[in-house]
Amino acid sequence: METRKVPEYFGSMVFDDRVMRSVLSDKVYNSIRKTIDEGAKLEKDVADSVAKAMRDWAVEKGATHFTHWFQPETGVTAEKHDSFIEPSPDGSVIMEFSGKELIQGEPDASSFPTGGLRATFEARGYTAWDPTSYAFIKDKTLCIPTAFCSYGGEALDKKTPLLRSMEALNKQALRILKLFGNDTVKYVHTSVGPEQEYFLITKEMYDKRPDLKYTGRTLFGSKPPKGQEMEDHYFGVIKPKVKEYMDDLDQELWKLGILAKTEHNEVAPAQHELAPIYAKTNIATDQNQLMMEIMKKVASRHGLVCLLHEKPFAGVNGSGKHNNWSISTDTGVNLLSPGETPYENAQFLLFLCAVIKAVDDYQDLLRLSVATAGNDHRLGANEAPPAIISMFLGDELSAILEAIENGTPYNGKEKNMIKLGVDVLPAFDRDTTDRNRTSPFAFTGNKFEFRSLGSSNSIACANIMLNSAVAESLKIYADRLEQADDFKEALQEMIKKTIKDHKRILFNGNGYTEEWVKEAVKVRGLSNYPTTPDCMPHLLDEKNVRMLTSHKVFSEKELQSRCEIMLDNYCKQVRIEVNTQLQILRRMILPAIEEYTAELSAGILKKKEVNQNLSCTYDTAMVNKLSGLADDLYQKAEELEQAEDKLKESPDAVSESKEIRDNILSKMQELREMADEAENYVSKECWPLPSYGELLFSVK
């Protein structure tokens, strides 16, 4: 890949603004821009013109098919391909694509998760073009980003509620800006830069691990002699094969207009990170889904497998997806950046307080928005924030808020210059605060970093809840300030009240300590939901339903369906893991133990034939130990199977998920620990699974 050519091919597979400007008439272009920027109605003749230009552009790029690309509640993307060809009277074909086909599709909706929104036999569903997210070409197919809804109009996807939440925040933010005398802003949007962590292993190793194939994580595996203890992998020299993969990945992403920016080795062996530049939240969501797909596809070309599970390997760091979130106007003003004047800073403080209030009032929604079976293994470990939601603001901003609350003057310090003690190295300004990697929700200058998302999660859910909660805070503020006799006085009082009422959510310390858990729950009264079964039912709490429905982000039926879907997904994922674990144990591990035990027993007999007086202490001890482990493994496997079978008696997903939390997971862990102990005694030649050492250090 030649660096000088990047600007030439960047976005070459995207029907973006550059392309539209060049292929559409001024009238059509201005109309579609108004639809994209201001939500204006899309006229039929405009849709037909765009569709024709889109088809011609796609065919010229080699595309033969089109698809409405959408994001159902499966957590991955979906697409149904149709070719452009239409029959011609002379027996040939022509390439056609109409405005109607662009705007609306009709995939079968019966096999997608609906959470009881509709009966299985009710198959009709619709996809609707999202013109704010550019179409792109993938594998010779024109992909049109769309929303997905049922025949009755209920949202069956992640995009529709996300767009609704963005509109809700836009509506309330504009009210606030108007109170500050800003009438020039037409819309306010949120932007996201999701940092994507992942593991790379060789396909050869992956193919020998049924647990990775079926579940995305290893269900067995003893700790290797060396893991991440030396911390030598983090930001280390990138291995040649990994660098080739990263270069290829960059090229594929850049063609699709995805602003892949930063890449490096992460903490665990074989772990890496890719971070893009910020984009509007719905576009960033589309691009992150596309990024995960392309990461896997490119890996296969290099004889590698990209693992996106939150905790593919026990005992080493898992993978997250840090959601860097900010609010901006169409005029380019970041509303989470302090301004140059007192008035601008008052506006900044109000938006900051809106976020503080939102995170405190709806900490349960933020927690459940990142809840999955995989992420439960990661949260609270030393590489991820705890399940308790709190906010980090840093020393300076915390001091400012404390001064406001107490009505005392703030004596800010000038930025200190960091001097490195080496003349050739330049001095530079110290940031006003250090970073806190233990905080789930940290302010990092002009944005918040929500660190709790799992690496395989869609970022849609977290941003839906965040946008909606902040919209609610802004609505409460606007309702009060619009009625105030003295705006400045009411503003000051509101900021002060927010700080006082919600300072419990602010915590700048170490979120990993037991002391913090006790303080957060017992002293501050914060929520602590360690697992998915603990937090997911709170989606239907009265305050949450009232807030989300009042902003028209979800209907009550849609919320009920999503609670059902997410708990059902949790249960299905764990049951797949249980059955995979039992299959590997019975078909691979127990036979391996039996084979090695038989070898040792045969060896004892041969030695005794030579010399009856030999004690064969080691061989005998190993036979006894492994025989005992095999018997215990068999017994534990029977108990786990019976417990899993009992899940069928659960009346609903809530009950089933709690039974999994309270009974199944501990039995799976017991089974694993015994098998991992056996791995340390069975010969390498007999053990059927690649070891952790082979998996983590397989890529050269």
Q: Which pLDDT tens digit goes with each residue over 477-490?
A: 999 999 999 998 99
Asked if pLDDT for residue 572 goes beyond 90, the answer is yes
Asked if pLDDT for residue 125 goes beyond 80, the answer is no
- Average pLDDT estimate for 607-629: 85
The structure tokens listed for 309 are 């599970």
The structure tokens listed for 148 are 């997905």
Asked if pLDDT for residue 243 goes beyond 60, the answer is yes
Asked if pLDDT for residue 497 goes beyond 50, the answer is yes
Rg from Cα positions in the chain: 28
Identify the CATH number of the domain defined by range 570-696. 1.20.120.1560
- Tens digits of residue pLDDT in 417-476: 444 344 544 443 444 555 567 889 999 888 999 999 999 999 999 999 999 999 999 999
Identify the top-confidence range among 113-117, 219-223, 343-347, 435-439.
219-223
- Tens digits of residue pLDDT in 369-395: 999 999 999 987 666 788 999 999 988
- Tens digits of residue pLDDT in 68-85: 998 988 888 988 888 887
Q: Which residues contact 515 (CB under 8 A, 6 or more apart)?
A: none
CA distance 271 to 417: 34
CA distance 160 to 171: 17
> For 3-157, which CATH class?
alpha beta
pLDDT at 72 (0 to 100): 87
Helices (H), 302-442: 342-361, 363-368, 373-378, 395-406
C-alpha closest to that of 217 among 686, 685, 677, 672: 672
Name the pTM for this structure: 0.92
Cβ atoms of residues 369 and 347 within 8 Å: no
pLDDT at 430 (0 to 100): 44
Mean pLDDT of the residues in the chain: 89
Q: Which residues contact 165 (CB under 8 A, 6 or more apart)?
A: 463, 464, 465, 467, 468, 471, 551, 553
CA distance 675 to 690: 14
DSSP string, 27-77: HHHHHHHHHHHH-PPPPHHHHHHHHHHHHHHHHHTT--EEEEEB-BTTSS-
More confident residue, 105 or 312: 312
Report residue 205: phi and psi, to 5°. -70, -45
Identify the CATH number of the domain defined by range 165-221+228-416+425-554. 3.30.590.10
pLDDT at 231 (0 to 100): 74
CA distance 596 to 590: 10
Cβ atoms of residues 391 and 441 within 8 Å: yes
Name the packing angle between helices 159-179 and 281-301 (round to 10°): 140
CA distance 288 to 116: 28
User: What residue ranges do the domains of the chain occupy?
Assistant: 3-157, 165-221+228-416+425-554, 570-696
Determine the 3-state secondary structure of 424 from DSSP: coil
